[in-house]
Amino acid sequence: MSRFLKSSFQGIEPYTPGEQPKNSKLIKLNTNESPYPPSPMVIEAIHTEELENLKLYSDPEAKVLVEAAAEYYNVDEDQIMAGNGSDELLAFSFMAYGEKIYFPNVSYGFYKVYGRIFGEKVTMIPLDKGLKIKVKDYYNLDGTVIIANPNAPTGIALTKDEIEQIISCNKNNLVIIDEAYVDFGAESVVCLLGQYDNLLVIQTLSKSRSLAGARIGVAIGNKEVIRDLKNIKYSFNPYNLNRLSMVAGAAAFKDKDYFEKCCDKIKDTRDRLVKDLEFAGFEVLPSKANFIFAKPPGISGEEYFQQLRKNNILVRHFNEPLIKDYVRITIGTDEEMNAIREQLSVL
Ligand SMILES: *Cc1c(COP(=O)(O)O)cnc(C)c1O
């Protein structure tokens, strides 16, 4: 740290992204990327004159992408804003609404970081013993609420009715639902936007649409909230998405068949793996995501992580008191999951 850093950033604990290893022999199951390539329509969309157009600034409204997203979600275009990854939209949301903010004590690691930089009063609400969100703890709060559904890194989802209860019991607070993993079996609350003006939904194309490297997220909400977020963006970086990502994202929304096929494959692979791990004595939390959170039998989370690592399988272990017994395993292809199975005999 230099002596020039402004005081509010001193001692900041940044988010730690999962490792992006150079070693291509590694089976990479640590950052919840899709094992499948983007839709062929995405690849086609990028190979056009758009490459030559890179000499021009991108559209600050990201119109092609917003149009395709509005059609997919069946909302008006002024209810959608595109972000450079959903992380950027989460950051804008914390800037706009994070003065007083509530979220679960085990959740996406970025919330704590954004809360620290952009917020004033951050309250983390404990999960229950089974690492589930206690819905009633979120009724009648006095600040913004943010919940990842399914939650990370547990993979456990609340139902649409449970989320609706939280929204309707917080009429004077904005409730932000981060649906990064919703396409793998949970229920989206986008359909509630017509009924509640205090709901903001954030989704990403990084996981279920195989576009982690393109950095595309969308915020879906009522048009005043979207206007707030756009005002922040225009005060920060008007050209937040690049041209290639816009056309890629638009094509990904249009290719619904491919998207659904990939999600179905991942869900099937997940459910088969869960059965086998449970049979081997693992405790696996009920996942509606493209990862599972599992506690190995007779070995610590850290030891299991190391053992997989020695065998060229990279998963994620969080060295935090409440979850240190678990590892998070991204659902890859069936062949990749067989590599996990092969390690079961040595437990
Ligand atoms: C991966 C993830 C994101 C971030 O996604 P990007 O769009 O790639 O920035 C946001 N929220 C949760 C809970 C995630 O797991």
Query: What burial letters (b/e) apply to 48-67, b meaning 16+ CB within 10 Å?
Result: eebeeeeeeebbebbebbbe
β-pairing, 291-295 with 327-330? antiparallel
Q: Which CATH superfamily is domain 18-37+257-346 in?
A: Aspartate Aminotransferase, domain 1 (3.90.1150.10)
CA of 282 to the centre of ligand 1 (A): 27
Domain 40-254 falls under CATH 3.40.50.1370: no
Residue positions counted in the chain: 347
Q: What is the pLDDT along the chain (347 residues), one digit of tens a residue?
A: 899 999 888 888 888 888 888 878 899 999 999 999 999 999 999 987 899 999 999 999 999 999 999 999 999 999 999 999 999 999 999 999 999 999 999 999 999 999 999 988 999 999 999 999 999 999 999 999 999 999 999 999 999 999 999 999 999 999 999 999 999 999 999 999 999 999 999 999 999 999 999 999 999 999 999 999 999 999 999 999 999 999 999 999 999 999 999 999 999 999 999 999 999 999 999 999 999 999 999 999 999 999 999 999 999 999 999 999 999 999 999 999 999 999 998 77
What's residue 347's pLDDT? 73
Give 221-227's long-range contacts (Cβ < 8 A, gap of 24+). Answer: 221/79, 221/193, 222/79, 222/193, 222/197, 223/76, 223/78, 223/79, 224/197, 225/174, 225/197, 225/200, 226/78, 226/79, 226/80, 226/81, 227/78
Atom of ligand 1 nearest to the CA of 212: 8
Ligand 1: which residue has its CA nearest to atom 11? 180
Q: Which residues line ligand 1 (CB under 6 A)?
A: 32, 85-87, 108, 148, 152, 178, 180, 204, 206, 212, 217
Nearest CA to ligand 1 atom 5: 86
Cβ burial, residue 22 (10 Å; 0-12/13-18/19+): exposed
Triad 40, 43, 44: Cα angle to 5° = 85
Q: Ligand 1 center to residue 86 CA distance, Å?
A: 6
15 C-alpha to ligand 1 centroid (Å): 12
**24 CA to centre of ligand 1 in angstroms:** 23
Provide the residue ranges of all domains of the chain, joining segments of one domain with +.
18-37+257-346, 40-254
Contact residues for 163 (Cβ-Cβ < 8 A; gap 6+): 147, 149, 175, 177, 189, 192
Any long-range contacts for 338-341 (C-beta under 8 Å, 24+ apart)? 339/27, 339/311, 339/312, 339/313, 340/29, 340/273, 340/277, 340/308, 340/313, 341/273, 341/276
- Calculate how far, in angstroms, residue 298's C-alpha sits from the geometric centre of ligand 1: 32
